[in-house]
Amino acid sequence: MGIKRNKDKLKVVVVLGPTSSGKSDLAVEISKKFNGEVISADSRQVYKKMDIGSGKVTEEEMQGVPHYLLDVVDPKKRFSVSDYKKLAEKAVKQIAEKGKLPIVCGGTAFYIKALMDGVVFPKVSPDWTLRRRLEKKTTEELYQELEKKDPQRAENIDSKNKVRLIRALEIISKTKKPVPKVKEEPPYNSLYIGIDVDQEELEERIEKRLDRRIEEGMIEEVRSLKEDGVSWERLEELGLEYRWIARYLQGKIDYEEAKERLSTDIKKFSKRQRTWWRGDERIHWIKNLKEAEDLVNSFIK
């Protein structure tokens, strides 16, 4: 029955961890040592001109190692998991064809899952007109509608989550069928390396990094995005740095508050990232480069 054994599949290394944990550096080090190339898995670093705010690696930090899935779309446009999956799959293929080791590195867990677990999304692209229309209804109304049209999906969906309800109804309205059950077929032979940093230490790093990035011109970066035509609404939606700095630039809050709120939001975000990965048995949590190298070494043999 077409069951592929692990040894027949391409080998892909995944480096994951919360924001500010040092993923990018680790991925570069591993790449240099094992002849690899990096595929970013970050839902904000895909956008052009969003460099400091998204914590993108600099040209210098890349140390000559090629990086994929950075700067692939204009921030005025929307990018989705599904877009990510397609482009990342292509990148894996390209790297493997060169005889190099693909290293997926990033903090967007959903993107990593889509790629590595081979999540099959229903082929229905977002219909913003429909979404805007459904947005006007209450959560209860949407849920009742879903119960009527697709009782099975209604059973396991988060009944109070408007975004998910709207997506489910969108799929039904386009396909005229119930939402298909999610399919997962891991296409690669994978090694998951997670960076294990104590939360307290991580939060210190987050704060220092925030100061540094402000000095490096993070506020200017947001201002110039706005000048390039990225709306305040869009910046709000992009979250964290872009959201809080946009609010500050509009004069809605003062500098101190913006910085304070941004700092707690980044910390909360890092906790959510942890929650996502906690309990995933596939991840090897490492403390240093040596442990990572040992893991990769035995993986590629």
Partner RNA sequence: GCCGCGGUAGCUCAGUGGUAGAGCGCUUCUCUGAAAAAGAAGAGGUCGUCAGUUCAAUCCUGACCCGCGGCA
Greatest distance between any 2 Cα atoms in the chain? 62
Tokens 């069928």 found at: 177
Nearest distance from C-beta of residue 234 to RNA, angstroms:
10
Q: Which is nearer to RNA, 34 or 276 (CB)?
A: 276
Verify binding: residue 124, RNA, rule CB under 7 A: yes
Q: Which is nearer to RNA, 29 or 221 (CB)?
A: 221
Nearest distance from C-beta of residue 113 to RNA, angstroms:
7
Verify binding: residue 160, RNA, rule CB under 7 A: yes
Nearest distance from C-beta of residue 242 to RNA, angstroms:
6
Task: Compose the 257-296 pattern: x for residues touching RNA by CB under 7 A, - for all others.
Answer: -------xx-xxx-xxx-xx-xx-----------------
Residues 11-70 that bind RNA (CB under 7 A): 42-45, 53-55
**Burial degree of 245 (CB within 10 A; 0-12, 13-18, 19+):** buried
Tell how strand 101-106 and strand 10-16 pair up.
parallel
What SS3 state is found at 36?
Answer: strand
Backbone angles phi, psi at 188, to 5 degrees: -125, 160
Residues 228-257 that bind RNA (CB under 7 A): 237-242
Instruction: Identify which range of 6-14, 61-69, 154-162, 285-293 contacts RNA by CB under 7 A.
Output: 154-162
Which residue from 78, 90, 177, 208 is in contact with RNA, where contact means CB under 7 A? 78
Cα angle 64, 189, 57 (rounded to 5 degrees) comes to: 25
Verify binding: residue 164, RNA, rule CB under 7 A: yes
- Cβ–Cβ < 8 Å for 17, 197: yes
- Cβ–Cβ < 8 Å for 157, 168: yes
Residues forming beta bridges with residue 189, ordered by sequence position: 11
- Cβ–Cβ < 8 Å for 184, 118: yes
DSSP state of 73: B
By the criterion CB under 7 A, which residues form the site for RNA? 42-45, 53-55, 78-83, 107-111, 119, 121-126, 131, 135, 153, 156-158, 160-164, 166-168, 171, 179-182, 237-242, 264-265, 267-269, 271-273, 275-276, 278-279
